[in-house]
Every structure is written in structure tokens, then in C-alpha cells.
Amino acid sequence: MTNQIWNPHEYRKSADFVPEMGRAVIELLEPKAGERILDLGCGTGVLAKELAAGGCTVVGTDASPEMVEAARTAGVDARLADAQTLKMDEKFDAVFSNDAIHWMPDHYAVVRRVWNLLVPGGRFAAECGGEGCVRIIREGMKIALIKRGIDYKARNPWKFPELGTFSDILENQGFRVKFIARIDRPTPLVHGLRRWLEVFSASHTDGFTSEEKEAFYKEVEDYCRPTLYSEANGWSADYVRLRFLAVKPEE
């Protein structure tokens, strides 16, 4: 079990690009006023609020109590729940998810839960990290952890789905896959790689002293610099996305 503690304040400051880039999924979803939409892994609630502003009734869920609190403060009907075990009495016209599914190791369970929450004809539109996402950063972290005798796998919180595998999971559940794409999207890190590591990879340095963290960050930066840094553009992360739209057929 990995230990990722979210700090909504730091997240808003350093990861504002996450909801910004999630707008592509809203376009894919094509929400209509009056629809009931579930935002799976709503985080601080930025995109849930946008959906609500378009006239949808939105419920958000997140497995992080800190994120649920932040989303509620922003005015979102947010509930504490793990999408892998999620059960609700309500049904939704659509389930939306941005940048969350790769934090949920059991993709079969997620797809099954989403299916159960959708009305016939309901849509599942999502984007998450795809196979190969942040490969260079992960290599850097792996090398730094192995050097310290730490089991990288036990600390890795992410499962980045492969396109064919995820498409099969959706179809085996009964969904019709309308669109699915693996997208290479190098992502500028305007606050630097170190900030990204602090916000997203907390489980890798769980239990480290601040000096140990410093040394770890420096080693990862040194490993990544030749490929992910340039004087002209600063740091970027080697993001790969998996974006899809699937529909639960009418009965």
C-alpha cells in the first residue's frame, strides 16, 4: 500500500496544469445542461465546477479526505470514496474522470463500478496516464531507490493502462468504445521537476528526512536533466495520456 498524502494548497499552486489540460475530456464528454454527472477522482473540484456551471448536476468523489474537503469548500457536492469499491444509490448520465484512474490499481473494478452507476446510454469519458507515462522520471526514481535498498515496486502508486488492455476491459464489461487514443504529451513543468516530485511522488520518499529527500530529488533531477530539461524551455515531464469515450448501450 503506497502512501500518497495530498495537499490541496500545494496542488493548486503547482499542478494547476492538471485541470487545465483536462478540458479535452470535457470536450469529448459533450455535457448537456440538466445531465447528472459523476466526477471520479474530482481532486480540488475545478472541473466539477465547470461542469456544474454548464448546467449539469455534478457529484464528485475522491479517495483523499483532504481533496474532498477542498472540493466541498469550492462548492462541489464531493464525497469520500474509492472508485474501486464505489457504490451509490444514484444513477448518472455520464461518468467523467481526469487524471485519476492511474492512481487506482484495479482497473477492472473501476470499470465495473462505473458501469453500475450509469443509466443505459450513459457515457464514460476519461483521461489518465497511459502506458509509458513519466517513464524517464520513474527510471530516475527507481535507480535512486534501488541505491538505497528500497523496493521501488512497493512505493510505486501508479498503474498506467495500456490502450489495448484498457479497451478490452471496457468491452468485456459491455461498453462500446467510441474513441480511445494514446497521446504523447510532453508537459511543461513551470515550477520545475522538483516541485512535481514533491506533489506527485510523495510515496517514494515516505519516511525520508528532509536531507534524504533533498539528496533523492537531486539524483532524480540529475538523471532526468539530459532528456527533460533545456535552457530554452526549462523542465518538462514525459507524459503519455490514455483518453477514451465509452458508452453503455441502451437496453
Least distance CB 70 / ligand BEZ (angstroms): 15
Residue with Cβ nearer ligand BEZ (136 or 215): 136
Q: What share of the chain is helix, strand, coil (3-state, %, to 5)?
A: 45, 25, 30
List interacting residues with ligand BEZ (CB under 6 A).
18, 99, 129, 133-134, 158, 200, 239
| Alpha carbon distance 51, 131 (integer Å) | 28
Dihedral pair phi/psi, residue 132, rounded to 5°: 95, 0
Least distance CB 13 / ligand BEZ (angstroms): 14
Chain centroid, CA 28 distance in Å: 17
Residue with Cβ nearer ligand BEZ (156 or 173): 156
Least distance CB 251 / ligand BEZ (angstroms): 35
Residue with Cβ nearer ligand BEZ (167 or 203): 203
Least distance CB 144 / ligand BEZ (angstroms): 17
SS3 235: strand
Exposure string of 25-51, with b = 16+ CB inside 10 Å and e = fewer, is bbebbebeeebbbbbbbbbbbbbbbbb
The closest alpha carbon to 11, from 37, 36, 46, 35, belongs to: 46
- CA neighbours closer than 13 Å in the CB half-sphere of residue 54: 17
Least distance CB 245 / ligand BEZ (angstroms): 20
Strands 118-129 and 234-247: antiparallel
Least distance CB 92 / ligand BEZ (angstroms): 23
Beta-carbon contacts of residue 136 (< 8 Å; ≥ 6 apart):
223, 224, 227, 228, 238
Residue with Cβ nearer ligand BEZ (31 or 130): 130
Residue with Cβ nearer ligand BEZ (18 or 70): 18
Residue with Cβ nearer ligand BEZ (122 or 140): 140
